[in-house]
Chains A and B, each alone.
Chain A
Amino acid sequence: MSDALRADDLSADVRAALRRQIVTLADSKRILGLRYSDWLLGAPSIETGIAASSMAQDEWGHARLLYAMLKDFGEDPSAAEHERSRQEYANVSVLDESFSDWAGFVMAMTVVDGALALALEGLAEGRYEPARSRIPKMLGEEEFHRDMGLAWLRTLGGGAQEARDRLRQAGDWALPRTLAWLAPDDERYGLLVDAGLAASPETLLGRFRDRYGPTMTSIDVEVPEPAAQGWDPARGRSAGAPDEEVVSRARGDLNRALMVD
């Protein structure tokens, strides 16, 4: 399209804001894939474990494609994927922690994965050409994640009292910070919106409520206002960082040590 932009077309501050958005999406998908993979053998059924495996592969694939967008910024994507410290990881902060139980998995599959899909949609609708061309395939794969998340929410929400209690606890854990990540209330994200590169925070929050609000209401989980815990504008996420063990896995340290140049 004639209004499409590449990184070289952007001013330095808008370019930095776009890079932040790409990295936080890529890091979130990389870590989410790891969190999914932790449940391959602990899911409630074989079919569910296989689905978790498939979703993990989807997330890793999406992360790889997103890191590759950094080539447009004149960077080597390999450095972003394999050479950063845990303090530099920009994943949605709730993914710093592993899922406490299956209710945590289900809530993350809905809330975190859903927020990532909405942020991707917002980017694909904007003027950045690589996002327009690469994100739609990811969103097609994400439809199955969304269907599975909502189906499991309804299943647990219609189950025993303990299941409903755990879902509510998982909602309290996942929702406030994830919504703050989805709809950043800061200057850098505002630059992206003003440049026509991303959907506004209000639009994204509205879409989240439209998409997930009715199911959340039906299971007595309230969709709260966004609430960051110590916003870090450099990374576009709440304060904190994933631990070294998960970042080592995200970087692939052990496997890369076996590689010979």
Chain B
Amino acid sequence: MRESVFDVFARKERGEPLTHIGYVDAMDAELARVYAWTTYDEQNWFEMCIVPRTHIIPVNRNDGPFAGNAVTTPSGAAQHRDVGASLEEEGA
């Protein structure tokens, strides 16, 4: 089974902003939850979340790690690309 990238976000205290703290490779979301919790355990996190990288939509740039998820806009500000192909390019 192919692994996917899941980005990990966490906050130390209630009311603090969620911060991107890293990512894990996992075969599904269930395993990604466990890997995120055990990999980024340097803090006593108040809250941790994971997001499949394929679900992160860039807003103002069409380069960088999320470029493959860019959506087509009426103004043509970003071009849609194949999500699976972009992951392979990243070596995910």
Could you tell me which A residues sit within 8 Å of B by CB distance? 45, 47-48, 50-51, 53-55, 144, 147-148, 150-152, 155, 158-159
| Minimum Cβ distance to chain B for residue A116 (Å) | 18
* A51 to B3 alpha-carbon distance, docked (Å): 16
A147 touching B25, Cβ below 8 Å = no
Which residue on B lies nearest to A155, using beta carbons?
Answer: B27
Q: Knowing A45-B3, A155-B1, A159-B1 touch, does A50 contact B38 (C-beta < 8 A)? A: yes
* A interface, over-half SS: helix
Binds A, one of B29-37, B55-63, B74-82: B29-37
Could you tell me which B residues sit within 8 Å of A by CB distance? 1, 3, 24-28, 30-31, 33-35, 37-39, 41
B34 touching A151, Cβ below 8 Å = yes
B35 touching A50, Cβ below 8 Å = yes
Q: Knowing A147-B33, A155-B1 touch, does A51 contact B38 (C-beta < 8 A)? A: yes
Across-interface contacts of B24 in A (CB, < 8 A): 47
B38 touching A54, Cβ below 8 Å = yes
22 inter-chain pairs at a CB distance below 8 angstroms, sorted by A residue, are: A47-B24, A47-B35, A47-B38, A47-B39, A51-B34, A51-B35, A51-B38, A53-B38, A54-B37, A54-B38, A54-B41, A144-B34, A148-B34, A150-B30, A151-B28, A151-B30, A151-B34, A152-B31, A155-B1, A155-B28, A155-B31, A159-B1
